[in-house]
Structure 1
């Protein structure tokens, strides 16, 4: 989901919009992408100044830790926690971890309070989400909109926060992809592909991200996703290319570069093979094609 931003430093964004509907329904208080290395990262939920806020934090790589009501839970790739501020919890960087990379969103409002209570009852505080789940894909989209400065008023923020809340409800009711649980090595590889698809990465990079042998990884990846690792990476790239073709005036060569292809001609060949038309034809037909995403094998 992320493109040029993967070259930038990790960022966090706070939103302080006027509009009482945010308190009644849902508002976004903050969103960010961080990678921490120091034990100084230590948040005690009983000493936070924020009141009536709800934190969702999803681990992308590395390992963190959260203590809730006296119980400790390690947080590895694909795992998220949901907590209320203030409440009895502490999440922190453990001293024996190499790093902890995560994306987080803090929400507020009466409706998100109800949603969090429902999800806690159904799923608990620590939950595993596959990277392909609609919940995580939407979270990445919201973050990208923040990076691109496309969240400019309370109504946009509430609409995005409400959509995220609905995906949490869908997950809690076991609807859609988010009901599945992927093995941690596959989570790691898939998240790596989604973050770095705009780079010249390939199978060996995905294997390294998974921590498995190439043979074991390729078999497990196909068993989990019904796709080969390279087909999965191609799917991410083509999906993003279609989004750019529909929403921007960038050239085919520029779009090819933004989705990880150094050669525009090769990109066009791959695109035509998967979609059945050239990138130019797809762009010209964008007002008549009745779908935003095309499922390919």
Structure 2
């Protein structure tokens, strides 16, 4: 069995920390190579929290007397003093990561990540998860200056990614997400040019209606609304920090028609470009 782990106090002990919002005590990785099985039984649990992530294969876990097999991409939470039973079998080729932690803010952070009403989440697999946990293991092993602060930052990042995954579950497949993220990147790079949603969809061999509907579901606005938001944000920046004319700013942000630019700007911001510049100049002295 391959094992790589790090401990805050160089030993695997459970700690209850109520002085800090969040404290990370240990993080590790198990990968079965030759050992046939490993069974962990803690009838009285631990006084800290434990998260176990199934990165590959599958493993069995028991909660409230019910045994369940979890496949790769699953995450299970054991709370303080909760009995722990889990079973790893070589035939299932499991690879697992675990994190022990506590702190007075731990429960609120877990609730925000999706554990408010359940203890098992399907979060899928992404290298971002394992990269974060490997960083945590390294920090616990080396204990360089600032390691406690970095550990909490890494763990918060991990929980935030879990929360994002839960919120995006309705979006669809990874391929769909990739399509939208590619579009977002393209719009941010080419917002100063004339953009047509129909032309973009055709060039990428996707339906215009599907693209608009899926983009709105993913980003909370239509593609054209998103492009407008990029352009107006950039226009505001140029009005605040340069002496470029209104016509020049409109041209730089994708509006060749100055009157149309002014109309869109006022509709979005609530003031015409000239008025906005004067108000900002007044505030900044």
- Per the normalisation by structure 1, the TM-score is 0.47
Question: What is the TM-score with the length of structure 2 in the denominator?
Answer: 0.48
